[in-house]
Amino acid sequence: MPILSGVAANSYNQAVTAFIQLASLPFFLHYWGAERYGRWLMIAAIPAYFSMSDVGIGAVAMNKTCMAWARGDVDAAKVTFRSALLGITLFALASIVLTVLGCAVFSPADNAAGGALVLLIASALLSTYSSLYDACFRIIDRYAYGTFILSSIRLVEWTAGLAALASGANFLGVAMAMCATRLVSQAALTLYVHRLVPQIGISFTGASWTEIRALLPLGLAFLGFPLGYALGVQGLALLVGNVIGAQALVVFATYRTLSRTVTQLINVVSHSIWPRFSMLYGLGQTALADRLRVRSEHALIGLSLLCLTGIALAGRPIIALWGRGGLSYEPQVLLPLLGATALTAVYQVKLVALIATNRHVGVSLRFCIVSALALVMTRMLLPSFGIAAAIGAVVGVELAMVVIVNMAFSTANDPPRASEPLASR
């Protein structure tokens, strides 16, 4: 599968995300004003948690399906896919029931806001099928095309909400437009995927409770990554703001956002080689997978260092332009954070190789523990050391991940068998 096309598709995905984030602000402020838009942001923040309601089984089932397919075991791929489909559907239905009951019990004063919340949660639950549908594109070497379609659905969904906003809709109207668009798009995608890979098929027939139970621990472990990232990004930001004040948070958040622009590049490249690792390990071609890993590591580290060096050299004018003169240039903040991003590039390819082959259990658990410990240490040190404590936490977590990932990868000598549950190494 062409890796460069995957890079292009993931770049498009990042561009869609950035466009939605940047373009939403002026449109919503124009039609609703700051106060009403703020209430919408509070409502829209809740469904993000429901996007993890599949407890990670979609992602691990995607890996397992790809490896079984590559090995030629279509029956095993079908059982894994359909079992995950059933599991995700059951979790989604349970989430919808709990949401409706919650809204009925607590009786929100604003019925439009309550209805909007239910519809946005429904949209988020529909999006949990994306990982499984992504697997169907991966197994036929059309990963880039699948990524383009899934990203475009997000863009169309957002555009529908914007159209409702411009027509004078309230919270409920905007949410209804977005949910209806997601529902129609998802239904069309389901029919398309069913025809695209008829050997797998969109059906619950042949789903196995045993397979669902085997996927659950791997899926729960996969959730350790978004949880660890949430602790390290949002958790650390909240800590800095609450302990040493909003002004310090603005400085920390600005410089960290700047350093993490290269992290987006790292993610684009690593996600593009993810399907390749799953297929190569499924075929048992570990030597070829290792060569791909080494080449990807060298390229990613070199490219990241080049970008990070450019940001370091141009840091002063970037901050002056971006902050419109309201922020001073502080290299003692920027340079360590750029160093932390460089450490991410060192271990990221190995981490993706572990995740793509469902050998991530131990790594995700340790990542969560390290991230939580970093928050505790930061809370203790912030009053004395200020923003330096938060910077130290960021660098410390990345250093720990270099050690954790390399140790986990070095012990994962045998290629995983896609037909069996994989234990933590």
Between CA 155 and CA 157, with CA 156 as vertex, the angle to 5 degrees is 90
Query: Is residue 416 one of the residues assigned to a domain?
Result: no
Of 32, 50, 30, which is closest to residue 41 (Cα–Cα)? 32
The predicted pLDDT at position 422 comes to 42
Q: Which domain holds residue 344?
A: 223-411
* Residue 423 banded pLDDT, cuts 50, 70, 90: very low
Helix axes 286-313, 261-283, angle to 10 degrees: 180
Q: Is 15's pLDDT higher than 50?
A: yes
- Whether residues 115 and 260 fall in one domain: no
Q: Do both 54 and 156 map to the same domain?
A: yes
Of residues 249 and 421, which shows the higher confidence score? 249
Mean pLDDT of 275-285: 89
Domain total of the chain: 2
Is residue 315, in this structure, part of any structural domain at all? yes
The whole-number pLDDT of residue 425 equals 35
Q: Pick the last residue of a domain from 217, 239, 266.
A: 217
| Confidence (pTM) | 0.81
Residue 181 class from Cβ within 10 Å (0-12 exposed, 13-18 middle, 19+ buried)? buried
Tell me: the pLDDT tens digits for 205-250?
Answer: 999 999 999 999 999 888 889 888 888 888 888 888 888 887 888 8
Asked if 343 and 398 touch (Cβ cutoff 8 Å), the reply is yes
Confidence of residue 50 (pLDDT cuts 50, 70, 90): confident
Residue 344 and residue 202 share a domain? no
Q: Is the pLDDT of residue 135 over 70?
A: yes
Range with top average pLDDT, 282-286, 288-292, 336-340, 413-417: 336-340
- 79 occurs within a structural domain: yes
Pair (134, 87) in one structural domain? yes
Query: Residue 161: pLDDT band by 50, 70, 90 thresholds?
Result: very high
Q: What one-character-per-residue DSSP string does 131-191 give? A: HHHHHHHHHTT-HHHHHHHHHHHHHHHHHHHHHHHHTT--HHHHHHHHHHHHHHHHHHHHH
107 band by pLDDT with thresholds 50, 70 and 90: low
b vs e for 89-106, b when ≥16 Cβ sit within 10 Å of the residue's Cβ?
Answer: bebbeebbeebeeebeee
Q: Give domain status of residue 418, yes or no.
A: no
The reported pLDDT for the residue numbered 45 is 76
Q: What angle do CA 256, 261, 267 make, to 5 degrees?
A: 115
Shared domain for 164 and 287, answered yes or no, is no
Domain match, 230 and 346 both: yes
| Distance spanning both ends of the chain, measured CA to CA | 28
Co-location of 211 and 227 in the same domain = no
122 CB contacts (<8 Å, ≥6 apart)? 96, 179, 183
Q: Are residues 162 and 237 in the same domain?
A: no
Long-range contacts of 201-206 (CB under 8 A, 24+ apart): 201/78, 201/82, 202/85, 203/82, 203/85, 204/82, 204/85, 204/86, 204/89, 205/82, 206/78, 206/79, 206/82
Question: Does 34 share its domain with 166?
Answer: yes
Residue at 421 is within a domain:
no
Residue linked to tokens 């590559």:
70
pLDDT tens string 192-203: 999 999 999 899
Residue with tokens 């559907």: 89
